[in-house]
C-alpha cells in the first residue's frame, strides 16, 4: 500500500465517501489509487472554486465532510472564495492538497508556494504529511478535526513522494469533539431575562435553524412575547409548511435596526450580535440598539438545539409552537418582474426541495413567497463571496440524489463558477438552475448609492453593466451539456420550471428579470 492508497482507505473508513477534485501532476498517485478504493466516489470539476463550493453544499446537507483534491498552492488559492463561505457556514471539509516531492521543493519550481500560509487563513486545522507510514493517521486526524463542533475546514498537504512511497498504513477513525452542553446556570439566567418584562429578541444561527431549534424558539416566543429572528445568512435553514416561520434579520442595516428597535435584551444562540455587512458613512456598524444588553444562550460550538429546548422547558412548558400553514402564492401572469418571479417558484416548489440561493437583489421577496410551500431546505451565502450558488447546488445534489435541487442564481455571480454546470451534466444531477438575468451587477448599483459615492456618471455605471454584449446563458449551458430555455414571462417560467423539475438531470432557465435597483 502506498501513501495515496492509505489516505483513501482511511478516508472511506472514516465515512468520507465523495472527493470533489481538480487534480494535477502532484496528485496523480491519489487519482490512480481511486481504482484500488472503489468506495470513494470521485467527482471532477473544471475549476477549484467549483470543487470547494460543491464540498460545502454536500456537507451542509449530509452533515459529514467530503474531500477535495486540489493542486498545490494555486489550486488551493483558486478554491479560497468558496472555502471562505464554508468557513462562515462552519462546514466540515477535508482538503487534500498535493505538493511537490519533498526533495524537489528546494529548487523553487514554478508552482512552488506557501500552501500553509494560504491554509492558515481558514482558521481551521492544518498538517503536512512527512512520512508515508504516517499518512493514514494524518488523514484520520483530518476527518476528526473537520467534524469538531461546530465543523471546520481541515487541510492535509500530501507531498508527491510521500504519496507514491511504499509503506502506507490505513488508520482507524478518530473521535471528533462533540458540541458542549450549555450550563444549567446559563439557561436559568436567560429565563430570568425573559421573565423581566422588558422587550426581548432572539437571534438564532447554526443548528438552531433546524427543526428542533425552530420548534423550541417558537414555543418560547409564543409563551413570552419575545421576538425571534434567524441570522441573515444561515448555512441551512429548514422551513416551509409544518415548521415555524421565523423571519431572517435583514441584510440592509436599516432593516435590521428597524426589526430590533425598542428591544432591551438580545439573546443569541448559535449566532453573533449583528453587524452591518459593510461600513457606511455616518451609520453605525453594530446593529443591536445601544441601550440593549446581549446575552449568549449558546455559542456556535455548543449544543444549540438542546439549549433552546431546555429553555423552552423552563419558560414555555405548556406552550405549543406556532406552525406555518400550507399556503402558496397565486400563479402570476405577464412579463417577469422582481416581484412576480418568486411567486412562480413559491407556487411550484416541489416537495423536499433544496434551494441553493444566490439570487441576491432579485431574491429579496423569495422568503415570503416560499414560506408556506412544502417543507424544504434553504442554503444561503454565508460568507458573501459570490460564485457559491451553482457549485453548492452541485454538491447538494450529490448528497441527496432523491431530492430536487433548485439553484436560484444571479447572473453576475453565476459567471464566477458557471463551469459547475458541466459537472452537473457529467454526473446527471437533478438540479434546476434559474438564472435571474438582469444584465447588471445590480447589487453594486444599490451599494454605489448607499456608500455615499459621488453621483455616478457613465464611466462608473459601465463597470456595473453586464450588457454589450448580453450574455446568452442558454448557449453557455447547452455548451456544457445542460438543456436550457429562456423565459421572459411568468407563464413561460412556470411551464419551463415545471418541466425541468419533472425531468431527470440538470436544466437551466435563463429568466429575464429586470433589476430591482
pTM across the whole model:
0.96
Q: Which of 2-6, 278-282, 457-461 has the highest mean pLDDT?
A: 2-6
pLDDT at 449: 67
Please, what is the average pLDDT of the chain?
96
DSSP state, residue 363: G
How far from chain centre, in Å, is Cα 138?
Answer: 27
DSSP state, residue 140: H
Identify whether the C-beta of residue 360 lies closer than 8 Å to the C-beta of residue 447.
Answer: no
> Residue 59 burial by CB count (10 A; 0-12/13-18/19+): exposed, middle or buried?
buried
For residue 448, pLDDT over 80 is answered with no
For residue 339, pLDDT over 80 is answered with yes
> Per-residue confidence at 281, pLDDT binned at 50, 70, 90?
confident
pLDDT at 405: 98
Sequential DSSP letters for 202-220: EEE-GGGGSHHHHHHHHHH
Q: Is the peptide bond before 150 cis (omega within 30 degrees of 0)?
A: yes
| Mean pLDDT (whole number) for 469-476 | 93
Query: Helices marked H in 63-124 — which ranges?
Result: 72-78, 80-89, 115-120
**CA atoms of 366 and 371, how far apart (whole Å):** 9
**CA atoms of 130 and 244, how far apart (whole Å):** 51
pLDDT at 343: 98
pLDDT at 465: 79
For residue 222, pLDDT over 70 is answered with yes
pLDDT, tens digit, 9 for 90 and up, residues 380-418: 999 999 999 999 999 999 999 999 999 999 999 999 999
Name the nearest CA neighbour of 352 among 434, 247, 243, 229: 243
For residue 370, pLDDT over 70 is answered with yes
For residue 496, pLDDT over 80 is answered with yes
Q: Strand pairing partners for 180? A: 302
Reduced to 3 states (helix: H, G, I; strand: E, B; else coil), residue 64 is coil
| Mean pLDDT (whole number) for 256-272 | 97
Q: Which residue has the cell 416581484?
A: 339
Query: Residue 52 has which C-alpha cell?
Result: 470547494
> Per-residue confidence at 454, pLDDT binned at 50, 70, 90?
low
DSSP state, residue 26: G
Query: Residue 393 has which C-alpha cell?
Result: 447546488
DSSP state, residue 77: H
Identify whether the C-beta of residue 137 lies closer than 8 Å to the C-beta of residue 167.
Answer: no
DSSP state, residue 57: H
Name the nearest CA neighbour of 247 among 367, 355, 115, 358: 367
Identify whether the C-beta of residue 122 lies closer than 8 Å to the C-beta of residue 87.
Answer: yes
How far from chain centre, in Å, is Cα 244?
Answer: 22
> Per-residue confidence at 464, pLDDT binned at 50, 70, 90?
confident
| Percentage of residues in the chain having pLDDT higher than 90 | 91
> Per-residue confidence at 441, pLDDT binned at 50, 70, 90?
confident
**CA atoms of 63 and 443, how far apart (whole Å):** 31
> Per-residue confidence at 40, pLDDT binned at 50, 70, 90?
very high
For residue 443, pLDDT over 90 is answered with no
pLDDT at 426: 98
Low-confidence winner among 301-305, 437-441, 505-509 (lowest mean pLDDT): 437-441
pLDDT at 175: 97
> Per-residue confidence at 461, pLDDT binned at 50, 70, 90?
confident
Q: Which H or E run contains 62?
A: helix 48-62
Strand blocks (E) in 206-360: 227-230, 237-239, 265-269, 293-298, 354-358
DSSP state, residue 194: H
pLDDT at 280: 86
- Look at strands 354-358 and 66-71 and give their pairing: unpaired
Identify whether the C-beta of residue 269 lies closer than 8 Å to the C-beta of residue 186.
Answer: no
Query: Residue 310 has which C-alpha cell?
Result: 431546555
> Per-residue confidence at 516, pLDDT binned at 50, 70, 90?
confident
Identify whether the C-beta of residue 375 lies closer than 8 Å to the C-beta of residue 238.
Answer: yes
> Per-residue confidence at 447, pLDDT binned at 50, 70, 90?
confident
Strand blocks (E) in 396-480: 405-410, 431-437
pLDDT at 385: 97
> Per-residue confidence at 455, pLDDT binned at 50, 70, 90?
low
pLDDT, tens digit, 9 for 90 and up, residues 376-387: 999 999 999 999
The CA distances from residue 379 to 45, 117, 204, 359, in Å, are 21, 29, 15, 11
Strand blocks (E) in 92-147: 93-99, 125-128
pLDDT at 466: 79
pLDDT, tens digit, 9 for 90 and up, residues 161-196: 999 999 999 999 999 999 999 999 999 999 999 999
Sequential DSSP letters for 221-242: HHHH--EEEE-SS-S-EEESTT
Reduced to 3 states (helix: H, G, I; strand: E, B; else coil), residue 41 is strand
For residue 471, pLDDT over 80 is answered with yes
Q: Which residue has the cell 477549484?
A: 48
What per-residue string of b and e applies to 339-356 under the rule 16 or more CB within 10 Å gives b? ebbbbbbbbbbbeebbbb
What is the arrangement of strands in the sheet containing 66-71, beginning at the earlier edge strand? 41-44, 18-21, 66-71, 93-99, 153-159, 125-128
pLDDT at 430: 98
Phi-psi region of 282 (alpha: psi -120 to 50; beta: other; left: phi over 0): left
pLDDT at 458: 79
Provide Rg for the chain, Cα atoms: 24
For residue 7, pLDDT over 70 is answered with yes
Q: CA-based angle 164:166:172, to the nearest 5?
A: 100
pLDDT, tens digit, 9 for 90 and up, residues 100-154: 999 999 999 999 999 999 999 999 999 999 999 999 999 999 999 999 999 999 9
Name the nearest CA neighbour of 209 among 231, 240, 185, 192: 231
Amino acid at each position: 500500500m502506498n501513501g495515496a492508497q492509505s489516505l483513501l482507505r482511511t478516508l472511506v473508513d472514516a465515512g468520507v465517501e465523495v472527493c470533489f477534485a481538480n487534480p494535477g501532476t502532484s496528485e496523480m498517485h491519489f487519482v490512480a489509487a481511486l481504482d484500488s478504493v472503489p468506495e470513494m466516489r470521485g467527482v471532477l470539476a473544471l475549476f477549484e472554486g467549483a470543487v470547494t463550493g460543491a464540498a460545502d453544499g454536500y456537507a451542509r446537507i449530509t452533515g459529514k465532510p467530503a474531500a477535495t483534491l486540489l493542486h498545490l498552492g494555486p489550486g488551493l488559492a483558486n478554491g479560497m472564495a468558496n472555502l471562505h463561505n464554508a468557513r462562515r457556514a462552519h462546514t466540515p471539509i477535508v482538503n487534500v492538497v498535493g505538493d511537490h516531492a519533498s526533495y524537489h521543493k528546494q529548487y523553487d519550481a514554478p508552482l512552488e508556494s506557501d500552501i500553509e500560509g494560504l491554509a492558515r487563513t481558514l482558521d481551521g486545522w492544518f498538517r503536512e504529511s512527512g512520512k508515508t507510514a504516517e499518512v493514514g493517521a494524518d488523514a484520520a486526524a483530518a476527518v476528526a478535526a473537520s467534524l469538531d463542533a461546530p465543523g471546520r475546514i481541515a487541510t492535509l498537504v500530501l507531498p508527491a513522494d510521500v504519496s507514491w512511497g511504499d509503506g502506507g498504513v490505513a488508520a482507524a477513525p478518530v473521535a471528533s469533539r462533540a458540541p458542549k452542553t450549555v450550563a444549567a446556570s446559563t439557561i436559568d439566567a436567560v429565563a430570568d431575562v425573559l421573565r423581566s418584562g422588558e422587550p426581548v429578541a432572539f437571534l438564532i444561527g447554526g443548528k438552531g435553524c433546524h427543526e428542533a431549534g425552530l420548534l423550541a424558539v417558537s414555543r418560547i416566543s409564543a409563551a413570552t412575547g419575545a421576538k425571534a429572528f434567524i441570522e441573515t445568512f444561515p448555512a441551512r435553514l429548514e422551513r416551509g409548511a409544518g415548521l415555524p416561520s421565523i423571519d431572517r434579520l435583514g441584510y440592509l442595516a436599516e432593516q435590521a435596526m428597524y426589526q430590533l428597535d425598542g428591544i432591551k435584551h438580545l439573546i443569541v444562540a448559535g449566532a453573533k450580535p449583528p453587524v452591518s455587512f459593510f461600513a457606511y458613512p455616518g451609520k453605525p456598524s453594530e446593529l443591536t440598539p445601544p441601550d440593549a444588553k446581549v446575552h449568549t444562550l449558546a455559542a456556535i460550538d455548543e449544543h444549540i438545539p438542546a439549549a433552546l429546548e431546555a429553555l423552552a422547558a423552563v419558560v414555555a412548558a405548556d406552550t405549543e409552537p406556532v406552525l406555518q400553514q400550507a399556503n402558496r402564492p397565486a400563479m402570476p401572469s405577464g412579463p417577469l418582474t422582481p416581484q412576480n418571479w418568486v411567486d412562480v417558484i413559491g407556487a411550484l416548489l416541489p416537495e423536499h426541495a433544496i434551494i441553493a440561493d444566490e439570487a441576491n437583489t432579485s431574491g429579496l421577496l423569495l422568503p415570503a413567497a416560499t414560506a408556506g410551500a412544502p417543507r424544504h431546505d434553504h442554503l444561503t451565502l454565508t460568507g458573501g463571496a459570490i460564485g457559491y450558488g451553482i457549485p453548492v447546488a452541485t454538491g447538494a445534489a450529490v448528497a441527496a440524489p432523491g431530492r430536487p435541487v433548485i439553484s436560484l442564481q444571479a447572473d453576475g455571480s453565476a459567471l464566477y463558477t458557471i463551469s459547475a454546470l458541466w459537472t452537473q451534466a457529467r454526473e446527471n444531477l437533478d438540479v434546476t438552475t434559474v438564472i435571474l438575468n438582469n444584465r447588471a451587477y445590480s447589487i453594486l448599483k444599490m451599494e454605489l448609492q448607499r456608500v455615499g459615492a459621488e453621483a455616478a456618471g457613465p464611466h462608473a455605471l459601465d463597470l456595473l453593466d453586464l450588457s454589450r454584449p448580453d450574455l446568452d446563458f442558454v448557449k453557455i449551458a447547452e455548451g456544457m451539456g445542460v438543456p436550457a430555455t429562456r423565459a421572459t414571462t411568468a407563464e413561460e417560467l412556470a411551464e419551463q420550471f415545471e418541466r425541468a423539475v419533472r425531468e431527470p438531470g440538470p436544466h437551466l432557465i435563463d429568466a429575464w428579470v429586470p433589476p430591482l435597483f
